[in-house]
Amino acid sequence: MTLSMTACSNSAKTTSQTCRSFDTCIPLAKEGFANSQLSLGVLYFKKNQYSKAADWFQKSANQGYGMAEANLAYLYLSGKGVERNVNKAANLYKKAAKKGVALGQSNLGYLFLRGAGVAKNPKLAAFWFEKAAQQNNAFALFQLGVMYDQGVGVSQNSETSIKLYQKAAKLGSTQAQHNLGVFYYSGRIVRKNSNKAFGLFHQAAKKGLAQSQYNIAMMYSKGNGVKRSYKKAVYWLSKAAKQNIAEAQTDLGAMYLYGRGVKRNYRKAAYWMRRAAKNGSARAKKVLRLINNEFRKRGMKTRL
């Protein structure tokens, strides 16, 4: 859920003058131009001055300016600059959504999907996601893709799901890139294509998606869809492990244990295996037991 400065058509007082800095926005906002008040709020938001952002979003929203209503809703939902109030957020998103603001439509859909501030209603969630998706809202396209894939709020249709993921992925949706990669990796519905899967996982991994980072680490480790490289596998395992992915922590521990792609280091192996075990990895717990038993047999005091 993000902020936007896209204008929307309504009866609010607006100006055609460009407003991109405090120097230009403040005078116009004080004159009562709703779009300038919105822009000023966004400028304050970017400076982490959330209270001032909320004040200017509120002034703009008071004129019925849809995008300001959506941005103010985000502040109420996150509790930034205002006291957190999910019900207020939902009401503001409803107002913005009815004015055709894609941000309001997509976020209202998400609230209906989760039952936050409104009664849980997957069908209404799909309705609003569809509205936003028609405006190429990447978040809505992704969420609608998930709903079609799982048959939640809509009839299950994996083909439709893939098409939605493809559109969202092209618009930069990290999660859509990952999910689409899973389809190509598994060969479900689409023809199996490890190279394409790797490319999609890599796009998402570069943006910090932990599960994609783990997936490409495994592909590097196995030489699946890419030339085998334990060194690169370790690189991506480290990134995923630091984000608390138990499988990545286990495999990273194993890399240090066996010296694959990295110099053998029992202390680091122990560190990552223990972290993985704490995160519930049965494999890490088993490896720790086996190694400790081996140490006992050899009369060694060092334990992992």
User: What pLDDT is stored for residue 18 in this prediction?
Assistant: 79
Domain boundaries along the sequence of the chain: 1-99
- Is residue 2 predicted with pLDDT exceeding 70? no
Residue type, 40: L
User: What pLDDT is stored for residue 287 in this prediction?
Assistant: 87
Mean pLDDT of the chain: 94
- Is residue 1 predicted with pLDDT exceeding 80? no
Rounded to the nearest 10°, the torsion over CA 66, 71, 76, 80 is: -160
Chain position carrying tokens 């055609």? 16
CATH of 1-99, one of 1.25.40.10, 1.10.3720.10, 3.90.550.10, 2.170.120.20: 1.25.40.10
- Is residue 89 predicted with pLDDT exceeding 90? yes
With CA atoms as reference, report the closest residue to 212 among 184, 239, 187.
239
- Is residue 11 predicted with pLDDT exceeding 80? no
* Per-residue 3-state assignment (H helix, E strand, C coil) for 192-242: CCHHHHHHHHHHHHHCCCHHHHHHHHHHHHHCCCCCCCHHHHHHHHHHHHH
Q: Is the pTM of this model over 0.85?
A: yes
- Is residue 6 predicted with pLDDT exceeding 80? no
Confidence of residue 246 (pLDDT cuts 50, 70, 90): very high
H helix intervals, 100-229: 102-114, 122-133, 138-150, 158-170, 174-186, 194-206, 210-222
User: What pLDDT is stored for residue 290 in this prediction?
Assistant: 81
Average pLDDT over residues 227-249: 98
